[in-house]
Amino acid sequence: MRKIILKNNIEVTVRRATKDDAQNMIDFYNVVGGETDFLSFGANEFKRDLREYEEYITATSNEQNSIMLLALID
């Protein structure tokens, strides 16, 4: 985990994603899907099952050449 202070004095925490983050990530994707045209899904169209996404995060973190990072504010 690493804490970074942005130029506007907002603190950002950067850390590895864990399976405990899966539901928050799914919720986030479903919100931002409706805010951009640069994703392959729209609002509430990210349909991965929670257990499936937990397994995906775990599998990704076990690979030697992969990492999933989260940047958290507040």
| Alpha helix ranges (H) inside the chain | 22-32, 50-62
pTM flag (> 0.85): no
Number of domains in the chain: 1
46 pLDDT tier (thresholds 50, 70, 90): confident
Q: What's the count of helices (H) and strands (E) in the chain, helices before strands?
A: 2, 3
40 pLDDT tier (thresholds 50, 70, 90): confident
CATH code of the domain covering residue 36: 3.40.630.30
pLDDT digits (tens, 9 = 90+) for 51-69: 999 999 999 999 999 999 9
Q: What percent of the chain has pLDDT over 90?
A: 70
For residue 49, the enclosing domain spans: 2-73
56 contacts: CB under 8 Å, gap ≥ 6: 48
